[in-house]
Structure 1
Amino acid sequence: MKKILIANRGEIARRIIRTCNRLGIETIAVHSEADGELPYVSEATESVLIGPNPVVQSYLQADKIIEQAKQRNADAIHPGYGLLSENADFARKVEEAGMIFVGPASHIIEKMGDKIEARRTMIAAGVPVVPGTEEGVRSLEEAVIEAKRIGYPVMLKASAGGGGIGMVRCENEQALSQQFESVKNRAKAYFGDDVVFLEKFIQTARHIEVQVFGDASGGVVHLFERNCSVQRRNQKVIEEAPSPALAGNVRTELCEAAVQAAKAVGYTNAGTVEFILDEDSNFYFLEMNTRLQVEHPVTEEITGFDLVEWQINVARGESLPPQETIQADNHAIEYRIYAEDPKTFMPSPGLLERITWGEDARIETGYEAGNRVTPFYDPMIAKVIITGASREEALNKSHEFFAQTDIAGVKTNLPLFREFTESQIFEAGDYTTASLAEWLITKKEAQQS
């Protein structure tokens, strides 16, 4: 593998380029008109304008991306995460074009990328799943019937893609009626498929995911878990590894269930098996993301492995190391820095006039000072990963980092992190998927009193 086209943008493109440079692999960056000045474009070996600003006219142009890869003699295409990364048709076209897709095979993406099909597969494999619908719900009338059967609150979710973009919590029939068409439309816009389904919303839940890898010989290993329970609008904003929520044999059982899930579909390359952990430490399969995750750096920090390198090696046919050789040490926390109003979480695009980062942190960013965060894409500015010998040390280093960090030109969620990371519930590690929202309500009430 001598040349890889990166079918993505921003910080994940830079992340892939960095590993490719170390491995002596040339890279091709694709970019929209709005992204032409971003650092990843100049850092790649070569670059190509792929289209206008909207994602549907640029980064989702599968045929155009593949054609550019062929014209430029790429051996492989790395999809990053989001965009086309879980698009089975794209992976299949890459394979048919005679190139390597740096990810799971197209038939696996089809099976597990479809969240409904993934639920069926896990049930057959004996992995516990969250109660929900076994088929897509095509109409609001059908959704109302199924929601009554499952019991409110429910999660209305896109079948073709993960993340908070394609899901919403519905407390009652009125909320479901209001959100149904909106979620379908977002699913179509972001994932190319408007099929949605329902799952029971588990109260007092923790969102725990396990990093897995599979190779062509059938080997599957895990690289331990990540806690992704700090969320806003159902999207993760803080992730950490290992999870402070796991005790006793639960960690072992959870990781073994993730490996079982991956083996059930003959999984290859990087994947993440996501679970919901209830207040009694029962866990349920939520979904499997057939790609590298935004939060993969915390796993790299505790294991010492480069997961992009692992992806490339597996794609080249190499075998994975034995499970017993994979050990975890230290504690890592990742913070997603967004250009957004910290009070409303609404995007705050604009010119990044100044960026001053704190010390002693790993920073994965798609921007430098002078770049512009545009309204066309996810407004994440950077991921900050802070590692310590213990969780307490990682937290202390986090406080110091945020005290030293400043971004001018756009609103950011830095004030949120400065305060929430010093809250009792976060410092205790006893938070759930509802904790951030509850903390914000408590804070607002205190300010008004």
Structure 2
Amino acid sequence: MEFRLLGPFEAGHDGHPVALSNRRQERCVLAVLLLDLGHLVSTDRLIDLLWHGHPPASARGAIHTYIGRLRAALHPHGVRITSHRDGYLVEADGHHVDVEEFSRLTHQASGAIDPVDRVPLLDRALALWRGPLLADTADEELRDRLHGPLEDLRLTAVELRAEAQLALGRHARVVTELTPLATRHPAREQLVATLMTALYQGGRQADALTLYQSIRETLVEWLGVEPGPRLREVHRRILREDHRLDRPDRRLYEVRVRGESLPWSVGGHPALDFCNTFAGWEHEAPPPGAEWLRGYRTLAVWAGHVGLIDDVAVSRLSELARRDLGQASTVLDEARVLRTRLYACLTDPDDRSAFDAVARCAEAAAKVLVFRRGADGRGRWWPDLAAGLRVAVHAAAWSAAELVADPRRLTVRACPHRDCGWLFLDESGMRRWCSLGTCGSAEALGRTA
């Protein structure tokens, strides 16, 4: 059975609509269960959500009644609501809920490297959006409590699609889609920056600059803040007619090596640069589209760029990855896990589990090292190419081990700016912010030692 919660509550079976209860609270109960399809929802949670924390004495009995009516209405369509302990769940049984499909497609698109692949995924995701969650059933408070981040994810999907369309030269379509959203969401800097770029690419430089001034005035008046680094940088580039605006898919803080986007080498050690990411680490997780380590080839090129493997190894690994995409994806996931654990290890010396995880990776790397002469005549340890695609991960792990064992490990600092979090060595003990103003904060630059 299909359930559509994005917009008015609708249900269907085999392509035909299914009429459900007109009672608002019964539909809310079903919606809560569907949002946790296949998982138990306690009766206490249902009561709390339906009556906003102020239930009547009869609330538990009312929930039992609602469940009975829903069971009777849904049973003919193969939907089973079962009870376990003090709660209920809708058995998954192949049923489809548009909220889950929307989230899945959006996150799948965020990992797609080629904009040709990304656009259709986001088209499918955004086509599911018929309006706010349970538009005709839930009030605003219940909607926020049920799935508060959903609207934010929708806007992220819109931004991702606009960026991909820009990369495909569709600036006119981007202008049409983003113009009505920019004034409603002036704090969405990525959205506004993408619209400004689209206007500029369409020969409307004056309109792009006017939009910036309008958004700036709104931010100052409403929030008392100036535009952030992303928006200011796009504004500066438009004023200078910077040719790099012809590549809107490129991040602000990157270098281009062999066609790959890599983070600046500003940490002072390869292991620190391995941790650094464009999105910053103050977020619980980088938002969709912010990840720099997007493909295995990027990992291999990065390892060569910072000197952990040689050019021959980079070419060899790139070819192996092209031949075995599945294994390349698996190894890339291992690299991302290593990076996350290494970041935790370096920022929290008391995190024993993170240290142990890095140590296990370093021990695995040590088993495949060979001692060879480098181009400069010096001998050094290199991961043996016989390790295949894991060579790049072994190289990163061995570099991490070298840093963790180095006394300089105690001088590692994380930039405190909320949009940064990049790691760097501070052997002077005087610096607070990352080098080169990576976080883009004027305040940070003014206070850097």
Could you state the TM-score of these two structures normalised by the residue count of structure 2?
A: 0.32
Q: Which has the higher strand share?
A: 1
Could you state the TM-score of these two structures normalised by the residue count of structure 1?
A: 0.32
Instruction: Work out which structure has the larger RCO, using CA pairs closer than 8 Å and 6 or more positions apart in sequence.
Output: 1
